[in-house]
Amino acid sequence: MDLLNTLVDKGLRRESPTREEALAVLATSDDDLLDVVAAAGKVRRHWFGRRVKLNYLVNLKSGLCPEDCSYCSQRLGSRAEILKYTWLKPDQASAAAAAGVSGGAKRVCLVASGRGPTDRDVDRVSDTIRAIKEQNESVEVCACLGLLSDGQAERLREAGADAYNHNLNTSESTYGDITTTHTYADRVDTVNKAHAAGLSACSGLIAGMGESDEDLVDVVFSLRELDPDSVPVNFLIPMEGTPLADEWHLTPQRCLRILAMTRFVCPDVEVRIAGGREVHLRTMQPLALHLANSVFLGDYLTSEGQAGHADLEMIADAGFEVEGAGEVTLPEHRASVRGGGCGSHEDGGCGSHAGADGAAGGTGGCGSHAGGGVCAPAPASAPVRTAEEPRTDLVAVRRRGAGTDLAPNA
């Protein structure tokens, strides 16, 4: 297919496709899907080999957010029965982070619900970052606390943060349809503040909120312009008790096309499969590893994810390898601009849609929309499902890990 050959050539040169080419990827047929994956896979392997970076979420403060993001289970007015708790103490957060690191995570993403941090909140998170770094100096720490005020990004960097996550989520033209308590421009401003402070910027999107192909292309091109080091791609998990609870429109094939389009537009950037992969990609998750070079390990912010050991088995069985702590994630031309190797602000941020199913609340929240659902096997007697039927059975509220007395999933 001439389109795919053109996109591969452009990706290897770090050249942007046209909007028409990006839209054409989303419009490809199921018959062409494996060709699309193979083409985008060439670009992914050129810049990132067969490495998969593992990231781990720690929800520092869950629920009770004053923002009204429609996708988020922590939003103002949410009736979702999620865990609600105030700030974890630094030792509690450090213990939670250690579980992820012991499971193979290279980066820990510290997330808190809310519009944005107060100066006291920045102090709390700074103490937590130091506690984590004291335990494991090489671990990368990404903060995701919502909208930043002047000087806060600099203070987080001084405390040892490597990255900051704040997702654009959707196109500027439709942003007001999902959130009214802050603006698209507010989000762009926070990503720019992270950049200016020398933090590795992480910013991504949520697919499946009723957006058009044009909206998806718009937000990915906007992300390319912002130039984050990592782009988390979240797939909406419609959580009961949120305004988007009935938005079940994604298929595994649609998700793969979205990831491929993102890879073609952002060829040398860490593309992360974030919240919702278990629910929407399901048994086709291994194919997504040919498109993205980064995933979350274990649970999300407010919902459960696939078992950590199952993630590791999937990566190995698909012929990929977990990226080591001593390896630099980004290609050399990007890593050198950001300041060097592992742990020194060299690569992508936390990502993860911070809320699609209840992640970090309106503006806070790491991203990974806090919610890939449980990937539990169906009982042997389960009826055969059609592709159009929503898998609501794969969504489960997180009841373990941070904020509980139960061991985390890592």
The catalytic site residues sit at 65, 69, 72, 109, 142, 202, 272
Using CA atoms, how far apart are residues 354 and 362, in angstroms rounded to an integer? 8
Tell me if 117 sits within 8 A of 164, measured CB to CB: no
Taking CA 56 as the corner, what is the angle to CA 53 and CA 61, rounded to the nearest 5 degrees?
150
> What residue type is 72 in one-letter code?
C
Q: Comparing C-alpha atoms, which of 215, 226, 202 is closest to residue 330?
A: 202
Q: Comparing C-alpha atoms, which of 164, 75, 87 is closest to residue 350?
A: 164
Tell me if 357 sits within 8 A of 276, measured CB to CB: yes
* Residue 367: half-sphere exposure toward Cβ, Cα within 13 Å: 38
What's the distance, CA 29 to chain centroid? Answer: 26
Q: What is the 3-state secondary structure (H, E, C) of 145-206?
A: CCCCCCCHHHHHHHHCCCEEECCCECCHHHHHHHCCCCCHHHHHHHHHHHHHCCCEEECCEE
Using CA atoms, how far apart are residues 310 and 295, in angstroms rounded to an integer? 13
Helix axes 19-26, 2-12, angle to 10 degrees: 120
Taking CA 295 as the corner, what is the angle to CA 289 and CA 297, rounded to the nearest 5 degrees?
125
Q: Comparing C-alpha atoms, which of 366, 371, 409, 399 is closest to residue 60?
A: 366
> Residue 94 contacts by C-beta under 8 Å, 6 or more apart in sequence?
128, 131, 132, 134, 135
| DSSP letters for 340-367 | SSTTTT-S----S-TTTTS-S-SS-S-S
Three-state DSSP state, 89: coil
